[in-house]
Structures are given as C-alpha cells and as structure tokens.
Structure 1
C-alpha cells in the first residue's frame, strides 16, 4: 500500500460515495421502468442503449481536453456534480422518456469525468504499479457499490417495495453524492500544468496509441453481446426472485469484484494483460451461460461471474492503456467511446429481441456470441 498516492486514496473515497448512491438505484431501476411504469423491455433497452452511449462516447472528448489543455480536476468535479444532481430526480419520473433523460444526464456526468479521472489516477501512480493502483481504486469503488446495495436491501426490507418507497430511495441518493463531491473539491490535488497550451485543437494519435487501441478490438465486440446488468435484473425477476432480493444479487457481484480487484490488478502487472483478459472473457461467458439456464440458483452464480468479468476486464484494460499509450487521456477516451458505440447497439438489440422474440432468444444470442469471441481471442488476440 505504500506505493498508493494519497490523491488516489481520496479519489477512491470519492468513488466510494458516488457508487454508494448509484447502487441505491441500479438494482431496482429496471423494475421501476418495466413493472411500476408499465413500459416494455424494448423501452428499457432504449434507455440502456442511450445511457450507455452517452456515458462512454463523451469520454473521448473529455480525455482529449484533459490531454490537450491539461484540464483534469475541473472535468472530474463537474462530472461528479452533474451525476449527483441527476440521481434524486428519478423520484419524480413518470414515464420512460423522463427516466431516459435523467439516466442520460447522470451518465453524461460519468462520461465527462471518467477519462480525466483515469488520467489523474495514472498520473499519481508508479508506472510499474499501474495495475495495482487501478485495482486499489476499484476496490474502494466496489466497496461503495456493496454498501449502497446493502443499504437498498435494508430500506426495501424495512419500508416495503412500493412505488413510493422506490421514489424516496432515489431522492435519498443526494446525501452520499454530495459527500463525494465535497471530497473531490477539497481533498484531491489537480495535475500541475507543465507548459503553456495554445488555443488550437489537433486530435493526434501516435503510432503507439494506434497499436494500443487496435489490441482492444476483441473487448469492443464482446461488450456488444454481453448483457447489461439491467437484463440480469429482469431475468432474475422473471425466474421468481423477489424485488427485495435483487440488491443481494448485486451484492454477490460486487463482493466478487471487491475480493478479486486488487489481486487481479497485481496479477496483471506480473503475468501480463492477455492472460488476465482470457480469465475475464471466460468469466463473462460463464455469466451468460448460467443466466441462459434460467433458474434461480444459476442466476445467483451468473451474478458472481458477471462481477468477475467486469472487474478483471476493466482493470486490465485500464492498466494496459496506462502502460502503453503516449496520449493516455485520448486513448482512455477512445476506449470508452468504442465501448459506447458497441455497447449501445448491443443493449438496444437485446431489448428489442427480448420484447418481440422472448427472453430465451436474447439470452441465447448473448451466450453463443460471447463464447465465439472468447475462442477467437485465445487464437488471435494479442497484447
């Protein structure tokens, strides 16, 4: 832990409180849309698609601005503030359009801050320990998710699962959100500017940046077919798991991530990205497979493997970019933008298939496609 800079620790605490707030919403928002507001799975798919695209596509611009003008902390603060303000307003939404607009605004904030945040963390990490640093940060991030999901479960258990309770929980997210904003404003140090920056923008990728991006292609296609957690929620509901228990499923996923994040971060530094990504892709396939079996017991297992895939793949990719890219902010942004495009298309297609052809058809496509991509990665993938 001696190699972890105090600014990274503070950013970890910011992520803790922000993800605490997010975890109070994410497990029940799909149920709120489909069951409480009586919207279809295609509408849920549209919400997920638009929010995913906005969340990730903006990162290429914020990453570019952070690199070009060395404006880092203002983007991070602004992004966290927008997300904090947006979350409580879910309590006033009455149709899928309002939910989609608010989810997009919340994801807009995440998109603005994500690449600059990664740039800040990589700036304050030792080059030979970037995997360890990102793993440490992700651990605090996940601890916030775990705490938020536990709090959500306790609220649903004590007050019930009515529409009013859900709306009140959404509004209560303002408290942990503001704590996170306070910490990033007063306790996180900005990256010091090294030179005067001219007013002219020039988008530039070096040959090394292009090589870095090229080796992430398998991940982009994988994300197009891997089901979003919103679909995991609705599958759980469809096999008879009560709304009260849904937060516990997310706790399984988050606990798995918390227990493995730091370890796999260090493992990435030791054995390389490809081997670790192989573990990530395999975990993702198992997640889709157990969800495909459509029984409550296997749904619990699916959430565990979803957690493994999420944390291992994200930490490994972030570490790889931090170690190999010349313009890290731009490449972080490009990485997230491609995830946005592929993830949004996949989310919308999954929702349409689910609504018009049934859950089984959507789950089958996801499982088969991710399995094929994983096999191709082991044969052709390079890092």
Structure 2
C-alpha cells in the first residue's frame, strides 16, 4: 500500500508542478495586461471547464502537461483589432521574457520550498560526511563478518560506549582525544587506534559538551575504505557503537543556508545530467533489451513516480521529496534551453529581435520585421520528433526495466 501511495503522491506532485508552471505564465501575463483566453491542464478532448472573465479554465483527458493560451504569441497570429494592444508580441521585450520565464521560475520556487520544508522536517542528506550521531547502538558489536560486512548480535557482555557516555542522536562530534574532527570518516580513523576512557567533545543544541567515552576493543575489517571481500583481513580496533546520521534536520534559520547549499548541489547534478543526455541513449536501449538498468540513466515521469513509490515503501520520505525537488529543478532548467518549442527557444527569439533592432537603430535603420516562425517550423518539428522519441524510449525502459533503489 505504501508503494502505491508513493507512486500516486509523486504523480500528483508532478501534476501540481505542471499546473503551477502554467499558472506562472498566466499570472505574469495578466499582471502585464495581456489577454489570456485559455488555461488548461492536460491535452486532448476537454473533460471539464469553466469561464471566469475572459479566460476559460479546465482539464483535458491526457494528463501529460498543460498550456496557457495568450493572445498574439507571435506577430504571425491573427489577433482581433480590439485585442491588438494587449497582444503578447506588442509588449516590451522585458515583459515578454518575464512571462516566458515564469514557468521555469515557478519550478525553481517550488523546488526551493520543497527543500526548505524537508530541511526543517524530514532532514537533508548528510552528503558532507559530517560526524553527526545517528543510531546509538545498544552495544559495540564484538565482530564484523568480512563476507557481508554485517556485525554480530549484541550480547549482555558487549560494552556500549556511546550509549553509556550519553551520546545522543543529532550530537556532532568535534574532537576525539584532543584531535579535531570534521567528518565521520575522520572520527572512525582517529577512534580505531584508541581504547579505554577518551574525551569526546560534542556539540548539542548549539552548545559544546565534553563526554568521556570508554572506547571498546572489537574485531573489524581493517581496510574499511574499499569494497568488501570475503578474504578481507580483520583485526582489533577501537569502536564506540555510534552510527552516522544519514540526514540532518535544521532549525528555521539554519535551514535557509542548508537549503541554498543543497539546492546548489542539485543544480550541478541537473546540469551534468542535461549534458549527458545524448550519451545515455545506449544505456536506455540496453535496458529495453533486458540488460542491467543503469541507475544513472535518465528516467521519465513514469520512472520517477515508480522510484517515489519505492522510497515511500522504504520510509525514505526525505529521498521522496528530494527527488520531487530535483525533478522541478530539472524541468525548470530544461525548459530554458534555447530550443523551440521550449520557452527558452521563444526567449531566444525575442532577445534576438531586441538586439537586432538595437543594432539597426545604431545604424540609423528602422526596426526589422518580426522573426518568421514559419521558417523555424522544420527545426521545431525535428526537435519535437527527437524529444518525443527520447521520452518514449525512457518511458519504455521505465515500464519494462525500471530503476530499483539500492
């Protein structure tokens, strides 16, 4: 049930994002006095609609996007004489660019809000390897098995250093035995050679405390930095029975900075993903043919929804919301690419006309004619065909060989 709920919720989140994308166009167009005749979610035959003022609002049967119809999107459109002053192409360039950018800006705002809410509630991933306590084990397990990496069960005789010292989930370790600590990996490295009572300086609720931890001597895989193997040597090392926090929850103020950092990381990933799109076609074809699915290959909204269902089923709601935020950032950036029929393509055309007319004015010439969109149709159709084929390939791969969370 949780899996189905996750799929439905994620799909609903996508639908709401699309609706708000188009609402961004609607809101800014109306704010600048342009005439908006239709605002619909979906394509194909109309299911239901109503009219308020001069705009018809409604839903169509195919939930694969939406549109906001503004009068006179290009100078080639037929516009009634009474609507000509409010036509899109008659407005100043900066107003047109804002309206065209509003959809992507809306996605960015949605993504930021999702990340911020996650930061103060579910937490954000600890991807900086901070030495923050997660689970406090009831003991420092005596053995670790090299073939699986798992630990032996706790017994009554096993010590519980972290628990007995009073370390709590959320505590940040600042130093161990006088050695400053910046990462969890560094804490493990410093702790392993030690044994017996050792001072740990921690930060809790913004205040530093010094705790004495009686480090236990246990059997562990010696080289914990490489993939596990059944023949990995084991030996005696120091351990305290403290797991690392995989997510970090922030206060309302601190969440602002954390949101900015995490969002920046997501944007870097989005940009790298966009650049790699053409190179991922073989991986998608291999997945459709039944080969192993590359977890780094693109997914469609279908695949993203299925991953969202898996995250919900495992209780990984922070991953669920991070994925939804990342999808919003991806759509926002992708939509700004200077390619027709994307909003970025229309922005590029409008900026080209503005720069061209400025140059003509410097040369004492009148403004040029509007760009002839008819001449751009062959390129537009080609891009639509390629984009549609890529999307269909990704959807097929997501259906026959979906990505599975590791």
User: Shared topology, TM-score over 0.5?
Assistant: no
Higher helix share: 1
**Higher normalized strand content (fraction of residues):** 2
- TM-score bracket for the superposition, by shorter chain length: under 0.3
**Which structure is larger by alpha-carbon Rg, 1 or 2?**
2
